[in-house]
Structure formats: C-alpha cells, structure tokens
Amino acid sequence: MALSFTAPHTGLCDKARFTACLIALALSIAAYWLLNWCAFPLFDDVWRWTREASAIASGITLTAVALLSYWRPHWFQSRFMMGAIGATALAGAASCGAGILLSQSAILIVGASAATVAAGLSNIVVGISCIGLSMRQLGLCATGAYGLAYASRGMFALLPGSINFALFCIAPVAAAVLVARFARPVLNQQYAHGTPAEVALTAPASVLPFGHQFFLALLLFRFIYGFTLTFGETDRTPVLAVGALLPFAVVLAIAAARRKALSPESLFQLSILFSVAGFLIVSIGEDGHRAASVLLSCGTGFFEMFMYYMLIALGTKNPVAALPMLAWGNAMASWGTLLGANFGRLANSFASRPALLAATVALVIFCIVAYILLARKELDFTATLRGITPVSPLVTVQGTDGSALSLEERCRDMSEACGLTAREAEVFGYLARGRNVRFIEEELVVSYNTVKTHVSHIYAKLGVHSHQELIDLVEQGDASRT
C-alpha cells in the first residue's frame, strides 16, 4: 500500500478563534454554575440525592472517556463527540423536565446524569479547541472566560428559574458548536502517531502520567470548590460572593498588560493564599461566613483559571494526548467537587457547635499545607510544561484510500515492503512499540541471542542503525525509504 501524508493548517491564531474560545469557555464554566445554582435546587424537590447521583455518573463517564481515549482515541472523533454532546443534552433536558413534572425520581436521575455528562463532554471539546492559542492568549482566555462567567452569575440571579434551567441545557451545546471547527482537526487526527498509550511507550516524556501531582492538585482544590458551593448555602443554593469579582478583574488586567505568558505558579499560589485565608475566617463562626465565602470563591476561581490553563497547555504541547488529559482532568475535578460539596454540608451542620467547626476547618488547612510541603518539589508547573516533549507536528499517515493507518497497519505494510519473515515481523511490532530485547525475549519465550539476531536482520532490512531510528521510521510510515 502506498503511503501519503497530510497535515492540518497551523498558522497563527486569529482574533476570531480567540474570541470563539473565550466565549465558549465562559459558557462552559457558566453551565456548571447554573447546574448548582438553578438545576440542582429544582431536583431537590423530587429527590434530595439527585445531585450526588448525577455527579457520580459524570465522574464515571469522564473517567471512562479518559481511559478509553488513551487506548482507543479513534472512537472519539469529532462526529462522535458532537453527537454525544447533542444527544445527552437533549435527553437530559427532556428527562429532567419529565422527572420534575411527574415527580419521578428515576426519570430525573437519568436526565440529570445525561445533562451533567453533556456539560463534561462539552468542556473537553472546548478545551481541545483552544489548542493552537499562544501561551499568552491561553492565559488571557482562561482568566477572561472565568471572569465573564463569574460576572454573569449576577444576571442569573435576576432571571426566573425556568429560564436559568433552559440556559443550563443550551449552554454546553452552544459552546461546543461555537468552537467545533477549531476542535475538529485535533479530534480527527489525534491518533496520527498511534494511540496515546503507544506514544507514552515510544516517547514517555511527551505524556503526563495520570498519577502526576498536577491531577492530585485538581482533586484537592476542586474539593475546596465543592466546599464553597455548599458552605453557608440557603435552601441548598450556593452563596453568590460578588466581592470576588475585584481580584479577578485585577488579575485579568495584569495578564492583559503583560507581554509574557501568564505564570501558572502565580495562579496556583493565589489560589492557596485565598483558600487558606477563607478557611481561617470560617473558624471564627457565623459572623465571618460572608467574608469567608468571598475569599474561598477567589481561591477556587484562581484555581479554575489555573486548571484550564494547565490542561489546555498540556494538550498544546502534545495534541496526541490532549483528549485523555482533558478528560482525566475533568474527571478529577468532578470527583473533587462531589467530595467537597458533601463536606461543606457537613460543616454547615456544625454551625451551632463552634469548637467542632473550628477543628474541622483546622484539619482542612493542615491537609492543604501538608500536601504543599510534601509535594513542593513536584509543584513547579512551568517546569512540568517545559518537561513535556512535543511530538512532531500532527501528521496523519494515510493509505491510498485516504484512511488513517494504525500502528499495526504501518508495521504490517513496512514488514511486507522490506521482506521481513513472519517472526521478524512479530519482533518488529514489539520494537515499534518501544519494547526492548529482554521484554521480547520473555514474551516470545526465545533466547536472548535469537532475539538479537532477529533485531540485527530487521535493522539491516529497514536500513536503520538504532532502536530510535526504527521508531522514527515507523512514526513517519516511510516504507519507501528502505
């Protein structure tokens, strides 16, 4: 099979793209606020635990998307993602409406879960669409979008619940449609170099492990976000801390005035400072709840900016792994929010017992400080981004029919073109995935010398002199070179 190459256009991001990403990200962030401000309080009248059930469904779905896209990214191309967002949003709106009208908890749970999943999938697509922004534009987009979304909360407070619920159902779809043309090339060509799992084998420095401290930080600080949603709530409705707008505006102004890219450490440190200050004031008692809400909202807001900045920056460094990175990050955020929201309600029950409330808050502060001290060497996020080795420009290896070739198909075609024997082709497949001689020896149950002989024959037939040259050759899909 003859091989050809195509690559998407990669010019400078224009104003239209930046504007579309800014608005879409603001819509995506606002959708999560509407979920907690409007939708969940409506659901509570039917079944009190609907929000927990839907949050668990969202966490499970996003975790599954992250793991599946790590191994099977071709399942999640643009058409599937957009169809999934539209279908879950429509099913969520219809089922939620029916569940509320009929007071049927089972129907409502299905609807709330579908709507929450739609918001999560839309968030992933919006993040992918931002790949291609410069780092400075990305910083402005993250801070500006959160500022716009936060400012819109005042407008939502003036609107009837039915309109807010309709906006919640529409926002994820509108956000995804707005940036679909920018997300499509990455979604459709993300497996050009093989799956993220294959890339992690051949170029480990290009993919951030799921257990990295960054993702643990997402879990911890989204716990704080969930706490701020429920702490001091009235009728299970979050407190709107308008005073947090001022610090957000100051940071946005600084980001706009600077010529350099925004520092992720700065956002992370601001998040820590405001969050710790908020928790300290919580321990004072009810008199400090309003000030605590403002400070905690600032802390979680700066962390939201940091989260979007880092997740999209990771995808920009390596588009091949953008989908699993964004999905995993959103999954960690979902689980953290769920745990934090329930902890906030637990703290509310201690309002009449100041000593117990103070002890609970002290425990949270201790955990935050302990985490920072223990993981401080791994919390250099600029170094984390710098350490991600970019894969070569996104290129799709195609057959004569225009379809993208998988790693297995590339190995098969190159084996046939170079005249490899059946056993040599089998060894070649392992080598192409980054496996060494000792691993192949154990897998094929043959001697070390036998594998070395096969490897030397493969190198000679392919015209390469090292394992890395072989991997590079397979990634290029260039059988004609041999």
State pLDDT tens for residues 149-171: 999 999 998 999 889 999 999 99
Average pLDDT over residues 233-250: 84
Percent of the chain predicted with pLDDT > 70: 90
Here the CATH number for the domain that contains residue 164 is 1.20.1250.20
Q: How confident is the model at residue 202, as a pLDDT?
A: 65
**Is residue 282 assigned to a domain?**
yes
Q: Does the pLDDT at position 280 exceed 60? A: yes
Residue carrying the six token digits 């995804």? 176
Lowest model confidence (mean pLDDT) among 161-170, 226-235, 331-340: 226-235
Q: How many CB atoms lie within 10 A of CB 130?
A: 32
424 vs 235, residue with greater confidence: 424
User: Which of 17-31, 187-201, 433-447 has maximum average pLDDT?
Assistant: 17-31
Find all residues with CB under 8 Å of 429, minimum gap 6, and list them: 408, 411
d(CA 62, CA 120): 7
Whether residue 337 is found in the same domain as residue 426 = no
Using H for helix, E for strand and C for coil, what is the string for 152-188? HHHHHHHCCHHHHHHHHHHHHHHHHHHCHHHHHHHHH
Same domain (yes/no): 310, 225:
yes
Residue with the larger pLDDT of the pair 352 and 384: 384
Residues 366 and 450 occupy one common structural domain = no
Residue 390 DSSP symbol: P
Q: Is 392 contained in some domain?
A: no
> Is residue 368 located within the same domain as residue 456?
no
Tell me whether residue 176 is in a domain: yes
Helix (H) or strand (E) run with residue 397 in it: strand 396-398
pLDDT at 400: 46
β-partners of residue 133 are 131
In a domain, 399, yes or no: no
- Decide if 186 is inside a domain: yes
Asked if residue 99 lies in contact with residue 44, where contact means CB atoms within 8 angstroms, the answer is no
Predicted local distance difference test score (pLDDT) of residue 48: 87
The pLDDT assigned to 10 comes to: 39
Q: How far is CA 134 from CA 15, 130, 323, in A?
A: 12, 9, 19
Sign of CA pseudo-dihedral 370, 373, 378, 383: positive
What's the pLDDT score for residue 189?
Answer: 73
Answer whether residue 307 is part of any domain. yes
Chain centre distance of CA 353: 39
C-alpha dist (Å) from residue 397 to 187, 456, 475: 15, 26, 8
Q: What pLDDT score was predicted for residue 435? A: 80
115 lies in the same domain as 254: yes
Which one is predicted more confidently, 76 or 12? 76
Q: Can you give the pLDDT at residue 398?
A: 46
The terminus-to-terminus CA distance of the chain in angstroms comes to 14
Give 253-313 as a 3 state SS string: HHHHHCCCCCCHHHHHHHHHHHHHHHHHHHCCCHHHHHHHHHHHHHHHHHHHHHHHHHHHH
Q: What is the pLDDT of residue 402?
A: 44
Would you state the pLDDT for residue 138?
93
Between 9 and 342, where is the model more confident?
A: 342
Average pLDDT, the chain: 85
- Predicted confidence at residue 1, as pLDDT, reads 34
Q: What is the pLDDT of residues 20-59, one digit of tens each?
A: 999 999 999 999 999 988 898 889 889 989 989 999 999 9
Q: How confident is the model at residue 464 (pLDDT cuts 50, 70, 90)?
A: confident
Q: Which domain holds residue 206?
A: 4-387
Q: Diameter of the chain by CA atoms? A: 80
Higher pLDDT, 108 or 8: 108
Same domain, 95 and 193: yes
Q: Last residue of some domain: 339, 357, 387?
A: 387
pLDDT at 146 (0 to 100): 96
310 falls within a domain: yes
The residue among 334, 352, 387 that closes a domain is 387
Please check the confidence at residue 207 and state whether its pLDDT lies above 80: yes
> What local confidence, expressed as pLDDT, does residue 405 receive?
59
Check if the beta carbon of residue 5 is closer than 8 Å to that of residue 395.
yes
Percentage of the chain beyond pLDDT 90 is 45
Confidence of residue 345 (pLDDT cuts 50, 70, 90): confident
State the burial class of residue 98 (Cβ atoms within 10 Å of its Cβ: 0-12, 13-18, 19+). middle
397, part of any domain: no
Is 7's pLDDT higher than 50?
Answer: no
Same domain, 422 and 379: no
The enclosing domain of 472 has a CATH number of 1.10.10.10
Q: Tell whether 55 and 186 lie within a shared domain.
A: yes
Among 353, 387, 421, the domain boundary falls at 387
- Prediction pTM value: 0.77
- Same domain assignment for residues 350 and 380: yes
Q: How confident is the model at residue 13 (pLDDT cuts 50, 70, 90)?
A: very low
How many domains is the chain partitioned into structurally?
2
382 has a pLDDT exceeding 80: yes
pLDDT above 50 (res 116): yes
User: Do residues 454 and 363 both lie within one domain?
Assistant: no
Tokens found for residue 359: 């002890």
The mean pLDDT of 196-211, rounded to a whole number, is 81
Same domain for 97 and 199: yes
Are 275 and 363 in a shared domain?
yes
Instruction: Tell me the per-residue pLDDT of 60-69, one tens digit each, with 9 for 90 and over.
Output: 999 999 999 9
pLDDT of residue 317: 85
At 328 the pLDDT is 97
